[in-house]
Copies of this chain bind each other. A is one copy, B any other.
């Protein structure tokens, strides 16, 4: 079996048929989605545009829906929640339908359509997502969201964590970016913050003052919830 890592959805080569895709947007879409699912939302519906979010919301009762997401890292006007994982607490999300649109993350999730299985991962659930993926016994494709359509180090470090865990669980052939990601993660493992100094998306989060979010996003293997994307919605893997 193989593990292929792609730095952005656009860079994807080949089809996903029969494969398990793991989607990563560490800062912060897949961390927030994992938090929402962990905290008991009914489902998360990822959509690519604000317009699509509003149309989707009309399918549900107003009080069962949360409109969520960001543009440029901040709340969309008229929406309920932005993209901070700390907002997706039990008291906000329990039993709700979370409709979310983020700059990079939801595009990456939608790019995974056509795969046999689609898992949502972040550092908080990395070991558990890797274990779930390995048990599906198929080739694995890790799609990183990237930033502004480019390679983003934060996503690659998280991909490296997944590769690291998968390699401890079975025999996998690695593409060149899988090798790079694993190496970067294993060197950075104890200090993700330091490894990301000077990188674009991390520095943007710091400039916006999102220190608590970063701390939360960098906690590793503390959450055993593995969200999966099935028929257009993200729910907890059974």
Interface residues of A, Cβ cutoff 8 Å to B: 4, 7-8, 10-11, 13, 147-153, 156, 174-177, 179-180, 183-184, 198-201
Contact = CB atoms under 8 A, between A and B. Distances in A.
A97 to B, nearest CB: 34
B151 A176 contact: yes
Contact of A11 (B11, B152, B199): B11
A150 B179 CA distance: 13
Contact of A200 (B11, B176, B183): B176
A199 B153 CA distance: 20
A151 B198 contact: no
Contacts of A179: 153, 198-199
Contacts of A177: 7, 150-151
8 contacts: A7-B151, A150-B176, A150-B177, A151-B176, A153-B180, A156-B180, A176-B201, A180-B184
A132 B4 CA distance: 36
Nearest to A11: B11
Contact of A7 (B7, B152, B199): B7
A156 B184 CA distance: 14
A174 B151 contact: no
A198 B163 CA distance: 15
B175 A150 contact: yes
Contacts of A156: 176, 180
Contacts of A10: 10-11
Given A8-B11, A10-B11, A11-B8, A176 B152 contact: yes
A148 B149 CA distance: 20
Contacts of A175: 150-151, 200
- A4, A150, A174: residue with the most chain B Cβ atoms closer than 10 Å: A150
Nearest to A201: B176
Given A11-B150, A152-B176, 14 more contacts: A10-B10, A11-B151, A150-B176, A150-B177, A151-B175, A151-B180, A156-B176, A175-B200, A176-B199, A176-B200, A176-B201, A179-B199, A180-B180, A180-B184
